[in-house]
Amino acid sequence: MAKYGFLGLGIMGSAMAANLIRAGFEVVVWNRTSSKCTPLVALGARQGQSPRQVAASCDITFAMVADPAASSHLCFGADGVLAGIGEGRGYVDMSTVDDGTSRRIMEAVTQRGGRFLEAPVSGTKKPAEDGTLIILTAGDQSLYEASSEAFDIMGKRHFYFGEVGQAARMKLVVNMIMGSMMAAFSEGMALGRKGGLDGRQILEVLDAGALANPVFRGKGPMLLQGEFPTSFPLKHMQKDLRLAVGLGEDLEQPTACTAAVNEIFKRARAEGYAEEDFSAVFKTIE
């Protein structure tokens, strides 16, 4: 049985690593704030001393951090993954980053004799806890196959898109659509309620027709209650919208709707909602 490393124990990473431990795998965990390792050690994990030490001691090391800067530092920083990766060892970065960041990490890892796979996920806190994430991968196919047993524990579906960068692009497409949906949903709810409609009836009508979907079904009650417990932080959604707009510029593909939505989310961050769920954009729109 493979020995897994897991780096980054935030909202998503802690749940994903916990599922691997509960499934009986040997897992070594590390987080910049070491206290976040404690609950996982109690479940049976071992605590690593650094990304370098984890990568050097595990067959496959998974990472789940916030953004391109954090992903790059985890790989290239002092005592980073790159310093510990060895011949044949695998590194699977499950963070949501731009395709350029993924390619730079891939090139560095393969130059050291390691194997690299990008594997961003579609899903938030509860799917991470339930092991029902959608895992989007690209890169070394042998590492994809070797990681499939772990992917089956962390997610309900996993896809392989070929060369590194394609999974990163797929994830940005997913989140640019989801962010735009959330903004349109918030505007519709705000308009309807201001026009005297009952919010619960709005949700019931939406759920009865062609617009029925899990996002509106899950987030609608939060909009009515005005409480936004964090499943996917608003600051991360804004980061993904920014990266999607940047990808559009690189590919000369207009992204006018996404650019406008990104500005709304930027305003929401400025108003202090960065750490709340991305559905808290409703407070800015309302």
Catalytic residue numbers read 171
In order, the DSSP letters of 192-231 are: HHHTT--HHHHHHHHHHSTT--HHHHHHHHHHHHT----S
Q: Let me know: does 257 contact 195? Beta carbons within 8 Å.
A: no
Residues 6+ apart with CB under 8 A from 252: none
Which are the contacts of 1, defined by CB distance < 8 A and separation ≥ 6?
Answer: 24, 25, 26
Structure-token pair, residue 226: 């005005």
Helical ranges in 88-124 per DSSP H? 99-111
Burial of 244 (0-12, 13-18, 19+ CB in 10 A): buried
